[in-house]
Structure 1
């Protein structure tokens, strides 16, 4: 299923807390800031960071494995056979999804030799506090700990998926009990659900996980996956990061605008930049301008909301040109 990882289970720090990411090369920069934020707020804890990917550039490999130079930190890359995801091509060919979203389904199988507990995180998350309470949580009787999605999303997806227990979680954070997950056959059932019911899924892997884990997941406090959408702030000309002190440990910038997009001029950019400067990818610049036609259109709207009418119209024209060329 995967190539031999760059280190063995015997080399992993026995007391380490395991965190895994599923990313392609484009997201290593963002993941680097996530890792830096976790380390900053948890200086006394040992970590093993895992990456599941189908391909990793030599540059990214060297930077990631360079994390081992830090005391108490280990890093392990697991290369997956891309043929594993060919069956999901219909969901990645004509959308912004990549095969990385399906890689999380094989986390328990790949990491079972390393640990019995692992925290999966999306790479658009920043840590702003201690994870001690999460690491000390007793998961012995649970398959996975999750956090509910936004109220409006939950209501829509519960109705669309006919979830019997009335709950719906965001899969950007999954704290997995690997033995219980494997015993329950969650990965196999989720893959089957995608292949058999995928046409009715708005978010392919997330919807499938919610269907399979309906009534079987443990819901925990939103501080562990605090969803924050920048679009609403920017359309309302609210550039400040509005989170009550202590309300979040993991801030998940799950919307279509990310904090590494410096062009959005939101305060979250400063937060991301703080951790980015500490990461192995600090030499890479932030996105100073929109990178695609969708971002260009949003930038035009945000400029209009700030009263910058001429710049807004200029970016709308650029959006039209970018859309024609795509």
Structure 2
């Protein structure tokens, strides 16, 4: 990959800053804003530099990032990544619900090499509810990346399917990268090679490929740094209160239902709303109704669990009308 070199001078404050990267499209800036505020609020006294890698950024979101800098002791950088870098993955993107933005994380080490020697990548459906001191203190001299194990059942299935050397498999929503070591071991290139070789059989295209590329090379840390919370499991059983997440620092709402879906009536909405309301994206409302046919179908199912038969039928009918023919 040959991304453009940075056009901004790296300030002294940024050199001692903790760098965090996101890869989003314009639809996910609202969610990313809540993630960023949850990090800032729970880590007073820490200077953060937030990097946003995207194919395009609307002027309104650029303005909100500048507002973020004006209101909090942080620095932000936008890095425009050319879609041409990922043209070889177009068939994966076309055949799944994934946004092309998921592939931009492979460009992070090359794009940020002039800014920092280590960076924390986060998915934008994560909320921080604790301090990052322990994570920031992890030794980084020889490590390539710190990763967090996925759910046990997923680990067993994917480790076997991918023929990994150990029964270890990580969720790629949190990646703490040593940029120098990552590039020296050519992890991005190995990930691309894995996708081109076997991507059609992968369950999670870039995540599976990253697990192959980092097999036996990544260092696993506690699940509290990427606590996977599936809202669908709660809602399928009409449980609207959040269960205890223990000492989790990052809560990752990795399923198809997100805490900004006001229609789901789950208590996780309050956590998202708290940080969303403090962010420059607060003027963008939460989703009052399902946004697509898949959400319509889930909403119908959840309403049936709540014994709201009439409403369930209404949303199932909307699903039937909206789904692709």
Give the shorter-chain TM-score range.
over 0.9
Q: 1:197 to 1:137 in 2, by over 3 A?
A: same
Q: Residue 186 of structure 1: CA displacement?
A: 0.4
SS at match of 1:162: coil
Counterpart Cα distance in 2 of 1:273 and 1:6? 35
Partner of 2:167: 166
Deviation at 1:14, TM superposition (A): 2.1
1:13 aligned counterpart, secondary structure: helix
Displacement of 1:71:
4.5
Q: Distance in 2 between matches of 1:32 and 1:71?
A: 13
The whole-number CA distance in structure 2 between the counterparts of 1:289 and 1:214 is: 41
The separation in 2 between residues aligned to 1:86 and 1:13, in whole angstroms, is 33
SS of 1:74 mapped into structure 2: strand
Alpha-carbon deviation of 1:245? 3.7
Q: Matches of 1:5 and 1:61 in 2, distance apart?
A: 17
Q: What residue is the counterpart of 2:44 in the other structure?
A: 43
1:260 aligns with 2:260: yes
**Shift in CA distance, 9/315, structure 1 to aligned 2, threshold 3 Å:** same
1:107 counterpart residue number: 108
Residue 9 of structure 1 corresponds to 10
Distance in 1 separating the partners of 2:64 and 2:109: 25
> Who is 1:306 aligned against?
306
Contact 1:262 1:286 in 2 (8 A): yes
SS of structure 2 residue aligned to 1:176: strand
Q: Secondary structure at the match of 1:9?
A: coil
Quote the RMSD (CA, aligned, Å): 1.3
- Residue 134 of structure 2 corresponds to 133
1:322 aligns with: 322
Higher alpha-carbon deviation: 62-71 or 82-91: 62-71
Unaligned segments of structure 1, at least 5 residues: none
Quote the residue 1:59 is aligned against: 60
In 1, Cα distance between the equivalents of 2:68 and 2:18?
15
What residue number does 2:234 align with?
233
**C-alpha displacement at 1:217, in angstroms?**
0.6
Report if the CA contact (8 A) 1:22-1:51 is conserved. yes
* Counterpart contact for 1:5–1:77, Cα < 8 Å: no
User: Could you tell me how far apart the structure 2 residues matched to 1:205 and 1:69 are?
Assistant: 35
Q: Quote the Cα distance in structure 2 between the aligned partners of 1:162 and 1:189.
A: 16
Q: Say if 1:136 and 1:262 are closer, same or farther in 2 by CA, change over 3 A.
A: same
Rounded to whole Å, the distance in 2 between the matches of 1:42 and 1:313 is 45
Cα 1:39–1:232 shift into 2, 3 Å: same
Scaled by the length of structure 2, the TM-score of the pair is 0.97
Aligned to 2:287: 287
Report the 3-state secondary structure (helix = DSSP H, G, I; strand = E; otherwise coil) of the residue aligned with 1:104.
helix
Contact 1:6–1:78, Cα closer than 8 Å, also in 2: no
| Structure 2 CA distance for aligned equivalents of residues 296 and 229 of structure 1 | 18
Distance apart, 1:264 and its partner CA: 0.3
8 Å CA contact 2:4–2:111 kept in 1: the answer is: no
Aligned to 1:182: 183
TM normalised by structure 1 equals 0.96
- The match for 1:273 is 273
